[in-house]
Structure 1
Amino acid sequence: MKLTRYTDYALRVMIHLAMRRDDLASIRQIAAIYGISQNHLMKIVQDLGHAGFVETIRGRNGGLRLARPADQITLGALVRHTEGHCPLVDCAGCLIAPACDLPAIFAEAMEAFLAVLDRYRLADVATRPDALRQLFGIESIGGPAS
């Protein structure tokens, strides 16, 4: 399975925010670090906000942070949200679709894939916040990711 770029960018945002703990980050800052379009990232952040993954604070000193602790966000829930319920194969119009069991096999494989991601939390990905901060070019803040 190949994840969409949308999911890739959403995971990057979430890892960045997990590393920062409660300190706010900006879309501009995250976009610059990853070399991603601010407009594209804004759509992703809005979606993550509506889904309850990200909290946005408006105003002069506003920014983004995780809506709940990183140890309460599973990678499976995040990927399910960003990928939606799209089957691995599109059998519409296929001659053998009425007699083929491939879609059921792929559905089972997708369930197994997501079950593995459900075992991991965002906090499991951001276990080395100091190393991440160094890669991002950010001074040490707040302590380890939670």
Structure 2
Amino acid sequence: MQLTRYTDYALRILTYLAVMPQGQQANIEQISKRYNLSVHHLKKIVQQLGIAGIVATKRGKGGGISLMKSPGQINVGEVVTLLENTLDVIDCHSAPCQILPACRLKNILAQATQSFIQTLNQYTLADLVADNKGDLIELLQIER
């Protein structure tokens, strides 16, 4: 299974916000520059994260984006499930498969996907930055 770039970028945004000093906001241009990603793509992702109640967005002077919850309250599995269109490893229905009624592979892959999500559900955004916050701040060139 491979996550989409959309989800990858969302997790990068959330990581960036998780290591920012408390009370400080970031802007999309900063994040875009640090990760070398398209501002346009990041705007769409931030909008969806805002609608989901994961980030707060404020326009205008003094505006920016920040986490709405503490990193320990943001579950990685929930973020992935929210952002991925499908978690199916294969699509058995768009090009109908002749063996679908007797196929065991689809059930095995569904079980593997379930295990994947269960593993991600064990981690929060805080876990992603826990022991390397200083390194991340340095690598992302975030002012303290």
Alignment partner of 1:99 is 2:102:
yes
Alignment gaps of 5+ in structure 1: 141-146
Query: What residue is the counterpart of 1:12 in the other structure?
Result: 12
Identity %: 44
Q: Which amino acid aligns with 2:60?
A: G
Q: How many residues align?
A: 140
Q: Within 5 Å, which residues of 2 pair with 1:1-146? A: 1-20=1-20, 21-92=22-93, 93-127=96-130, 128-140=132-144
Alignment gaps of 5+ in structure 2: none
The alignment's TM-score, normalised by the length of structure 2, stands at: 0.92
Deviation at 1:103, TM superposition (A): 1.4
Partners of 2:129 and 2:38 lie apart in 1 by 23
CA RMSD of aligned residues (A): 1.1
Q: Which runs of 4+ in 1 moved over 3 A?
A: none
* Alpha carbons 1:22, 1:66 under 8 Å: kept: no
SS at match of 2:80: helix
What per-residue deviation string (whole Å, max 9, x for no partner) do you get for residues 69-111 of structure 1?
0000111001101113441111121111111021111111111
Q: Which amino acid aligns with 1:96?
A: I
Deviation at 1:22, TM superposition (A): 3.0
Partners of 1:84 and 1:115 lie apart in 2 by 18
* Alpha carbons 2:54, 2:68 under 8 Å: kept: yes
Partners of 1:118 and 1:138 lie apart in 2 by 28
